[in-house]
Chain A
Amino acid sequence: MLSGTAWALIGMGLAVGLSGIGSSIGVSKAGQVASGVISEDPSKFMKCLILQLLPATQGLYGFVIGFVVLLKLNIFSGTLTALSPYGGLAMLGACLPMAIAGLLSGIYQGKVAAAGIALVAKRPDENIKAVTFTIMVETYALLGLLISFIAVYIPNYA
């Protein structure tokens, strides 16, 4: 049986890693479409860049949760707090909302962002509407962030 601290660190790894993967896929999908649009009309760069950056935030949210886990484990004191296996598993569970929501919402938000960039290519003045459609997906990553944050930060996992 792994020690509780190891479980907690696996949770941290999942939150940061999966959210990061979600964001990378999302940003790359949007970036590919954006490059196509820019090849036709470079003046749309800023509008496309804003849309491409939207799926990037899941990676940051995962990073925030990962950092909060490290704070809870007192990493900056130089020694990790020893958790019981149950405490560690509980912390891993607390990381999962962010990890799963970050991974999937990042990918799907990237698809909407790519469609939004195609919209901007045809109707540049409607970019704010494309942004609004895209951030609809992010709501669920934010909810994951909030629950993971409260679940990781507030309880005492000894």
Chain B
Amino acid sequence: MSTPTQDSAVYSELPAGVKRQATQLKLADDVRDGSAYLSSFLRRHVAPRNLATAAAANDAHQVVLLDTVVPKKRPSSLQKKGRRQLNARERRGVDCFAASTARQTYRTHVPLHTLWRGYMRSLLQLEPSRALAADAQHRLLKADYHGCVLTVARSRCPSLVGVAGIVLQETRCTWRLVTREDRLVTVPKATCVFTFELEGHVVTLYGKHFVHRPADRCSKKFKSKATIDL
């Protein structure tokens, strides 16, 4: 093996005997000429982004990776058949939690209230002259309040006192009501006491102990608390 010369740092030249028989061996021109071969070799095997450093490596004795590391592709998750559920970020993007204020009017939700009254009538078996049965009162804890006309009777924040409207949305901590003035109001449960009337019965809701998601309320076991004071 001939020792590498100053010019040919990366490779060593072909032996003289091979060179003499280059035509017979049908060696390509670039193979015979080392530098041309080198540049074509580099072009074939080195990623374009590393090509500049590869050319300089000749003089600089640098290491050039010839193998490009291709990151392993993660196996794709199985495609769900049918409708895919949106994740939380997509849900926020679609804006399905925010009821658009431009479109909400009190009058459009009055039928919802009528629907709710019918639902409560059948849920509680209401009779105006008789007191509400104990199990009916317990059913109130798990009932759905969308469509109920709630009034804030008492609040730690005085500006909320008197706010009344139809419940459009219930979250863990708040109720979103649409008032008669077509205003969408978000009322926190924990600081307010709410009232509504149903067939001759006045129900007072202590929001402080009602801070649960409506879905969780169905299975929740309510325990008596120390006080209803705000």
Whether chain B is bound by chain A comes out as no
